[in-house]
């Protein structure tokens, strides 16, 4: 493969992404190389997926061992590591049972089905689910209907009905929108909205929603697909609020690059699905389960929650220092997030930074047009975080001084 291949793009692949003219060849830790030998520091981690970075010395041999034994069997049989990973996720979350699938939207789709059947089981014929402005839950018809972004929905109507949309962090809005509505069965939220621009739910708000769900017998369903699996310095971002959800979809970082999705359910939702209600061919397969088990084991061995918290704090502080003048002037609105999930919101669109950073050897993304998103591997060191700042901040300053 060479540069001309990249310029010619991929004429047989559907045109679903505005791709950069880069093809990555291999990686080591937080660094990746493209097919032309150029190296990049990876502050995107395959969109919050590559928990252990690239070519991890413990993960790779474990996966090689697994591939040599059995990759896929199917859910007609027991997969022993399903029980190992489920037990681990139950311990880490304080919840009770797990359904395995392969992607985030699939985990969310299962959550939505759980909520609807929770309603039907108690005689609610037309269950309704509270969802949020700026939410992102995936690209299936149901999950794009739950998503709070008109761009994601455009062209795919009619949308799935049964959603009530509210703004984040307003318990009054949630109460007003559901006042007297006996069809409500669940509240579905991201603890920190990812695609919507790194928008954290306030701890007090999460506690108040938990309380309201208890009072009204609604399921609290927290989409931790992006903010979960240690990224914020706790296993799950909602744990900072000291609450436990009833349903928790996971994916992205769970398999450190191997597609693994899961829905973790607490006692209120753990027994809703019975044989025949839900299923998947790939979900829970031996390769995926080995990846999940080993990812968590290595995270624990290497103290990656602590690392995410510490290096995240270091990175956010270094960004704030380097960009203090821009924060004061308002050219940068806010630096927010937790652990290694950081958003830098500019007062103007900044998508051009993605290519500019890549040209300078740094992989990032921009979401919601104006928010630089940093979701690197959880193994990132403070030195590497400093390198992110030293490449990114001059480019931000330059973009801000360019006439817009």
Stretch of 65-73, 114-122, 126-134, 187-195 contacting ligand PLP, by CB under 6 A: 187-195
Q: Give CA–CA dist 185/112, Å, rounded.
A: 10
> What DSSP designation does 371 have?
E
Q: Which is nearer to ligand PLP, 243 or 395 (CB)?
A: 243
CA 186 and chain centroid, separation: 20
- Selected from 104, 162, 292, 377, the binder of ligand PLP by CB under 6 A is 104
Catalytic residue among 223, 234, 268, 282: 223
State the binding site for pyridoxal 5'-phosphate: 136, 223-226, 281
Peptide bond into 158 cis (omega under 30): yes
Q: Does 196 bind ligand PLP (CB under 6 A)?
A: no
d(CA 113, CA 350): 37
Which listed range, 99-107, 110-118, 321-329, 392-400, lies at the site for ligand PLP (CB under 6 A)? 99-107
Listed in sequence order, the residues at least 6 apart from 161 whose beta carbon sits closer than 8 Å to its beta carbon are: 145
| Contact call for residues 183 and 319 (beta carbons, < 8 A) | no
Establish whether 156 is a catalytic residue. no
Nearer to ligand PLP, 56 or 252 (CB): 252
Q: Contact with ligand PLP (CB under 6 A): which of 29, 45, 194, 253?
A: 194
Q: Does 257 bind ligand PLP (CB under 6 A)?
A: no
- 144 binding ligand PLP? (CB under 6 A): no
- CB-based contact 107:262 (threshold 8 Å): yes
The tokens of 250 are what? 């996971």
Residue 31 region, left (φ>0) first, then alpha (ψ -120 to 50), else beta?
beta
CA 27, 31, 32, 33: dihedral to nearest 10 degrees?
-110
Q: Is residue 143 left, alpha or beta, with left meaning phi > 0 and alpha meaning psi from -120 to 50?
A: alpha
At 61, list the tokens.
Answer: 């041999």
Nearer to ligand PLP, 29 or 45 (CB): 45
Query: Would you call 153 exposed, middle or buried from its count of C-beta atoms within 10 A (0-12, 13-18, 19+)?
Result: middle
Ordered alpha helix ranges (H), 302-374: 304-322, 324-329, 352-359
Q: Distance between CA 233 and CA 213 in Å, rounded?
A: 26
The residue range among 132-140, 169-177, 297-305, 333-341 that interacts with ligand PLP, by the rule CB under 6 A, is: 132-140
For residues 252 and 250, give the distance between their C-alpha atoms in angstroms, rounded to a whole number. 7
Among the candidate windows 3-11, 70-78, 133-141, 239-247, which touches ligand PLP by CB under 6 A?
133-141
Of 46, 53, 138, 253, the residue at the interface with ligand PLP (CB under 6 A) is 138
Give catalytic status of residue 402 as yes or no: no
Q: Which secondary structure element, helix H or strand E, spans residue 42, and what is its range?
A: strand 39-42
**Residue 147 in the binding site for ligand PLP (CB under 6 A):** no
Binding ligand PLP (rule: CB under 6 A), the pick from 63, 251, 254, 344 is 251
Q: What's the distance, Cα to Cα, between the start and end of the chain in Å?
A: 37
Rule CB under 6 A: say whether 246 interacts with ligand PLP: no
Catalytic hit among 100, 136, 188, 282: 136
Q: Nearer to ligand PLP by C-beta: 34 or 224?
A: 224
Is there binding between residue 105 and ligand PLP (CB under 6 A)? yes
Residue range at the interface with ligand PLP (CB under 6 A); choices 5-13, 131-139, 371-379, 389-397 = 131-139
The count of other CB atoms within 10 Å of the CB of residue 37 is 7
Q: Is 223 part of the annotated catalytic residue set?
A: yes
- Provide, rounded to whole angstroms, the least separation between the CB of residue 117 and ligand PLP: 21
199 binds ligand PLP (CB under 6 A): no
In whole angstroms, the minimum distance from the beta carbon of 38 to ligand PLP comes to 27
CB nearer to ligand PLP: pick between 127 and 255: 255
CB atoms within 10 A of CB 13: 9
Using CB atoms, what's the residue nearest to ligand PLP?
104
| Enclosing H/E stretch for 334 | strand 332-338
Shortest distance, position 252 Cβ to ligand PLP, whole Å: 6
Tell me: does residue 225 bind ligand PLP (CB under 6 A): yes
Chain positions contacting ligand PLP, by CB under 6 A: 103-105, 108, 136-138, 190, 194-195, 223, 225-226, 251-252
Q: Which residues are catalytic?
A: 136, 223, 252
């Amino acid at each position: 493969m060479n540069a001309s291949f990249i310029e010619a793009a991929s004429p047989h692949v559907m045109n679903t992404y505005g791709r950069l003219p880069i093809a990555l060849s291999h990686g080591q830790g937080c660094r990746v190389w493209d097919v032309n030998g150029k190296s990049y520091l990876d502050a995107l981690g395959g969109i919050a997926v590559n928990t252990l970075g690239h070519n991890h010395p413990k993960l790779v041999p474990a996966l090689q061992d697994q591939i040599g034994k059995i990759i896929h069997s199917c859910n007609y049989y027991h997969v022993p590591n399903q029980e190992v990973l489920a037990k681990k996720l139950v311990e880490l979350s304080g919840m009770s049972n797990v359904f395995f699938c392969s992607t985030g939207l699939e985990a969310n789709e299962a959550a939505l089905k759980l909520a609807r059947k929770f309603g039907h089981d108690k005689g609610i014929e037309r269950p309704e689910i509270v969802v949020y402005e700026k939410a992102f839950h995936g690209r299936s018809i149901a999950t794009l209907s739950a998503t709070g972004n008109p761009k994601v929905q455009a062209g795919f109507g009619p949308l799935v009905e049964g959603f009530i949309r509210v703004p984040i962090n307003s318990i009054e809005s949630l109460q007003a929108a559901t006042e007297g509505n006996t069809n409500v069965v669940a509240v579905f939220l991201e603890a920190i909205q990812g695609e919507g621009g790194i928008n954290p739910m306030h701890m007090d708000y999460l506690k108040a929603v938990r309380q309201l769900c208890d009072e009204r017998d609604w399921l609290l369903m927290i989409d931790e697909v992006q903010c979960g699996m240690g990224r914020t310095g706790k296993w799950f971002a909602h744990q900072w609020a000291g609450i436990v959800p009833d349903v928790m979809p996971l994916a992205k970082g769970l398999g450190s690059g191997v597609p693994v999705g899961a829905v973790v359910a607490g006692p209120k939702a753990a027994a809703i699905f019975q044989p025949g209600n839900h299923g998947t061919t790939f979900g829970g397969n031996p390769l995926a389960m080995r990846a999940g088990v080993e990812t968590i084991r290595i995270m624990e061995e290497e103290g990656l929650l602590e690392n995410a918290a510490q290096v995240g704090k270091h990175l956010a502080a270094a960004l704030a220092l380097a960009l203090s003048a821009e924060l004061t002037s308002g050219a940068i609105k806010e630096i927010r997030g937790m652990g290694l999930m950081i958003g830098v919101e500019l007062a103007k669109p900044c998508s051009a930074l993605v290519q500019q950073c890549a040209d300078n050897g740094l992989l990032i993304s921009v979401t919601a047009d104006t928010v630089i998103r940093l979701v690197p591997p959880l193994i990132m060191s403070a030195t590497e975080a400093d390198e992110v700042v030293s490449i990114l901040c001059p480019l931000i300053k330059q973009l801000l001084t360019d006439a817009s």
